[in-house]
Amino acid sequence: MTAVDEPQSYSGTRKGEPDKTIEEVWAQPTGLRWWSSVSHRVVGKRFIYTGFAFFIIAGFLALLVRTQLIVPGNTFLDNETYNQVFTMHGTLMMFLFAIPILEGFAVYLIPMMLGARDLIFPRLGQFGYYCYLFGGIIVLSSFLFDAAPDGGWFMYVPLTTNAFTPGVSADFWLIGITFAEIASVTAAVELIVAILCARAPGMSLTKMPIFAWYILITAFMIAIGFPPLIIGSILLEANRLLGLPFFDPTVGGDPLLWQHLFWLFGHPEVYIIFLPAAGMVATILPTFVGKPLFGYGFVVAAVISMGFISFGLWAHHMFTTGLPILSLSLFSAASTMVAVPTGVQIFAFIATLAQGRPRMTTPMLFVMGFLFIFVLGGLTGVMLASVPFNWQAHDSYFVVAHLHYVLIGGMVFPLFAAFYYWAPHITGRMMSERLGKWVFWLMFIGFNATFFLMHVTGLRGMPRRIATYPEGIGWDRLNLLSTLGSYILAAGVALFIFDFIRHLRHGERAGRDPWRAGTMEWLYPTVAIGFNFHAIPPVETREPLWNNPNMLGKNAEDVEGVMRKMHDGRRETIGCDPVSGSPVQIVRLPHPTFTPMFTAFALAVAFAATIASAYFVAIAGIVAGLLGFTIWAWEPSDSGVTRDAGMGYVLPVNMIEKRSHMHIATVGTMLVLYALLGSLIFALLYLWNVYPNFAAQTAQPNLLWTGLSMLAGLVLLILAMINRRVAVADKIGLATVMNLAVILASIACTACLALAIQRTDPWGTALGATMWATLGFVALNLFITLYWALFNAARKVTGRVGAGQSLPDFNLATYAKGTAVMVLITGGLFLAATLGGLS
């Protein structure tokens, strides 16, 4: 195929590589440039392999814990080391294994399942991966400095404040994990946009593979659920570095505020981990039953319900903290209620099983293991939702047993099913069925031996996190058996690793669609080309490979579809309407680049330097990161032309309207930012409501400057609206003027807000500190608005933007509007404090 089909001349838009074929344009870089790859296949695999490496490390730490507890009075680990080991076990498993590896699978699979040639923001994927890798390295490197965190994976205050945890161990956790969380949030925004904006022609929301629904809801949950922890971590780090008293009860702070912020993240986190894994089950199960998933619509409804209701459960981790009984009852009710959508999914899986005679392959065994173990974990979850029982079982090994039944049953078993199921897709070879069954039974028996007994250990009163215990109080034999069980479980994992390495050379060749699956990732032969589709086929059903015989009936590259011609020698895929799936644009995709990696590295230097108190280096890292983002975005625009996409579609390239993938990404980013702001407002209202005496001691904001800040916010809002209209009208000169106006309004907003609370002492009361933190967050957004407007103006002044290329201004308008509303909300809160008083 020739690469170029009469490329038109138009200003600013790159011509790509006109002499290359489509295979060459999409070829993966080799040698050192392999690190510059932005392909979702490469990035997805990196997430999976890195996540698995963290799993092995965290699993090894778990074995140390179990070995310490094998007999009473053991001195294998001293108390301090034991605290470090169980803290790092939980931290690595929750933050650096579970979510990243599931996101890795989503990054790898979603484009192929939906009919896209790549993820919609490939550079963002690469950036997210390196943030994750560097963040993980920062956290792990704490061992090298003998400063591994030891405050538990939940980092409760006041234990983790300077008074009780001097040194930098807590800083390693707070900074490293926050950095790694950037990867999760960026991947979430990318997955939301990819699922909504880059599907095959005709793939409406109701025709999406069920896995895409699970990932879509999970991504929204990450976007809303991670911000409370990010804010909490920043507040705690500010407490440690600057002495700001957010959690100090002597000046109106509250350790429970940390718990609220942590569990506002921490409980949805459990469902963020469970849902993608359940999505894997819902994908694998129909393949081996040979029938579609039973009750697709019911499952979609259940997943949406679970996504929402899981945000109403956070305080059930705080039943023993002295909250009002009425609050406990509310959270108890919500915690019980979440069992309903969970049950709907489980019954849908069982009904799918009942539709046919399943093939009991290794992936299916792990799916059955999931059903058995997760249901038990769910039932003990309902028990723990009951306040009186929770009071008895709290912080005992019963809870340890429950959470491992939920997380290992609900996530690790489906994950191993996924390893066996999709390994042929990744490596081109089948893993051993015989060894796979051994792996399953070792893991299943080992898991139950380890954790089932812990229910009993907990009911006999053994508390969590103790480094040792006296003999003769009924815990000895149970702990011994649990430890032996953990070794069996580890043997299963070790055998899996052996099988995986073995199959890379000696596994049977997989061929095309080896499991007879119905979803589109199996359209091409395994270990395919560097991209996904020569032509993107129209999709009319949820199992296109089952229902469209043309797909597997001919060579994959010959399947009919859109985008067969490559016009400008550029990587591109089809963009769709978010609801109907109708093609609406051609999306241009970037080629391999090191820029995101260097940007992530610069930020990693900034974060690491902060831990080392090398603040000039930290500032240099931030400046270098900003420069990286600038270089990243300083590229010719692709908008402004239309191209023939085939099959009767003539489509704009990177269209300028609300359904554009970049605009939806801007809205998605605003969702994350509002969740961050919401967390700060929660903190403000919480401290104001719980400590009225200290609120009364906080200086009120200045009425005049507060009013002026709201006026400036209103001006910014109006300017943003005008900016949108100017962008749509494509008036380049006027748009430059509007950019400058936005810059001035942003400066005015920041100055007025700061002057409004200039008399408020951030060290005087926790409420005052939180007011300044809120101001800092809004000011950061105003700075981004300012920088973006400056950037857009500079591009126009230097002639980088031509006619029909106003997409950056269109998106800036949305961001500026969102920021202006933040100013109005913050100004409104300050105004209420001024008029109503803080007392």
Partner 1 sequence: MTALGRQVWGLTIPAVAWAAHFIAIYALISAACAPRGLIDIPLMFGLGIVATVLFGIAALWPTIRPPKGAALTGAIRVGGLIFAVAILFDVLPLIFSSGCGG
206 binds partner 1 (CB under 8 A): yes
300 binds partner 1 (CB under 8 A): yes
Task: Find the shortest distance in angstroms from Cβ 472 to partner 1.
Answer: 38
Range in contact with partner 1 (rule: CB under 8 A) among 302-310, 371-379, 396-404, 422-430 = 302-310
The nearer residue to partner 1, 338 or 793, going by C-beta atoms, is: 338
Query: Cα separations (Å) of 94 from 51, 90, 270, 515, 607?
Result: 11, 6, 9, 31, 21
Task: Find the shortest distance in angstroms from Cβ 321 to partner 1.
Answer: 13
Task: Find the shortest distance in angstroms from Cβ 208 to partner 1.
Answer: 11
Range in contact with partner 1 (rule: CB under 8 A) among 239-247, 309-317, 546-554, 609-617 = 309-317
Place of tokens 């319900």: 305
Footprint (CB under 8 A) of partner 1, residues 751-770: none
Task: Find the shortest distance in angstroms from Cβ 326 to partner 1.
Answer: 5
337 binds partner 1 (CB under 8 A): yes
- Which stretch of DSSP H or E encloses residue 765? none
Cβ-contact 724, 664 below 8 angstroms:
no
Nearest one of 395, 398, 372, 407 to 55, comparing CA atoms: 407
Task: Find the shortest distance in angstroms from Cβ 341 to partner 1.
Answer: 6
Kindly calculate the radius of gyration of the chain based on its CA atoms and give it in whole angstroms. Answer: 27
Cβ-contact 774, 823 below 8 angstroms:
no
The nearer residue to partner 1, 327 or 613, going by C-beta atoms, is: 327
16 binds partner 1 (CB under 8 A): no
The nearer residue to partner 1, 147 or 344, going by C-beta atoms, is: 344
Distance separating alpha carbons of residues 621 and 161, to the nearest angstrom? 26
Nearest one of 711, 719, 816, 695 to 753, comparing CA atoms: 711
Tokens of 74: 């053991």
Distance separating alpha carbons of residues 223 and 214, to the nearest angstrom? 14
Tokens of 361: 């392959």
Task: Find the shortest distance in angstroms from Cβ 710 to partner 1.
Answer: 24
Nearest one of 804, 795, 643 to 15, comparing CA atoms: 643
What length does the chain have? 839
Tokens of 546: 């089952």
Cβ-contact 589, 123 below 8 angstroms:
no
CB count within 10 Å of CB 78 equals 11
Q: Which residues pair with 4 in a beta bridge?
A: 568
Cβ-contact 795, 634 below 8 angstroms:
yes
Cβ-contact 225, 264 below 8 angstroms:
yes
312 binds partner 1 (CB under 8 A): yes
Pairing of strands 649-652, 571-576: unpaired
341 binds partner 1 (CB under 8 A): yes
Task: Find the shortest distance in angstroms from Cβ 307 to partner 1.
Answer: 8
Range in contact with partner 1 (rule: CB under 8 A) among 295-303, 773-781, 799-807, 809-817 = 295-303
Cβ-contact 514, 424 below 8 angstroms:
yes
One-letter amino acid at 444 equals: F
Q: What are phi and psi of 568, to 5 degrees?
A: -120, 20
Query: According to CB under 8 A, which one of 1, 163, 242, 340 is a site residue for partner 1?
Result: 340
Task: Find the shortest distance in angstroms from Cβ 206 to partner 1.
Answer: 4
Range in contact with partner 1 (rule: CB under 8 A) among 335-343, 402-410, 496-504, 650-658 = 335-343
The nearer residue to partner 1, 64 or 300, going by C-beta atoms, is: 300
Task: Find the shortest distance in angstroms from Cβ 690 to partner 1.
Answer: 5
205 binds partner 1 (CB under 8 A): yes
Footprint (CB under 8 A) of partner 1, residues 440-459: none
Footprint (CB under 8 A) of partner 1, residues 550-609: 579-580
Task: Find the shortest distance in angstroms from Cβ 460 to partner 1.
Answer: 29
Distance separating alpha carbons of residues 809 and 720, to the nearest angstrom? 9
Task: Find the shortest distance in angstroms from Cβ 674 to partner 1.
Answer: 14
CB count within 10 Å of CB 182 equals 21
Task: Find the shortest distance in angstroms from Cβ 689 to partner 1.
Answer: 5
Task: Find the shortest distance in angstroms from Cβ 696 to partner 1.
Answer: 11
Task: Find the shortest distance in angstroms from Cβ 521 to partner 1.
Answer: 23
The nearer residue to partner 1, 75 or 689, going by C-beta atoms, is: 689
The nearer residue to partner 1, 313 or 587, going by C-beta atoms, is: 313
Task: Find the shortest distance in angstroms from Cβ 680 to partner 1.
Answer: 16
336 binds partner 1 (CB under 8 A): yes
Query: Cα separations (Å) of 825 from 198, 644, 714, 742, 830?
Result: 34, 46, 11, 19, 9
Helices and strands: H and E segment counts in the chain: 27, 4
CB count within 10 Å of CB 623 equals 12
832 binds partner 1 (CB under 8 A): no
- Residues 673-692, one symbol each (x = binds partner 1 by CB under 8 A, - = not), give -------------x-xxxxx
Query: According to CB under 8 A, which one of 197, 210, 302, 749 is a site residue for partner 1?
Result: 302
204 binds partner 1 (CB under 8 A): yes
In the chain, % helix, strand, coil (3-state, to 5) comes to 70, 5, 30
Instruction: Kindly state the number of chain residues that form the binding site for partner 1, as judged by CB under 8 A.
Output: 38
Query: According to CB under 8 A, which one of 329, 547, 550, 613 is a site residue for partner 1?
Result: 329
The nearer residue to partner 1, 333 or 835, going by C-beta atoms, is: 333
- Which stretch of DSSP H or E encloses residue 803? none
Distance separating alpha carbons of residues 513 and 488, to the nearest angstrom? 33
Query: According to CB under 8 A, which one of 96, 309, 741, 793 is a site residue for partner 1?
Result: 309
301 binds partner 1 (CB under 8 A): yes
Q: CA 385, 388, 390: angle at the middle one, nearest 5?
A: 50
- Which stretch of DSSP H or E encloses residue 335? helix 325-337
350 binds partner 1 (CB under 8 A): no
Tokens of 791: 């950037």
The nearer residue to partner 1, 547 or 550, going by C-beta atoms, is: 547
Give the binding site for partner 1 (CB under 8 A). 204-206, 295, 297-298, 300-302, 304-305, 307-309, 311-312, 324-327, 329-330, 332-334, 336-337, 340-341, 344, 579-580, 686, 688-692
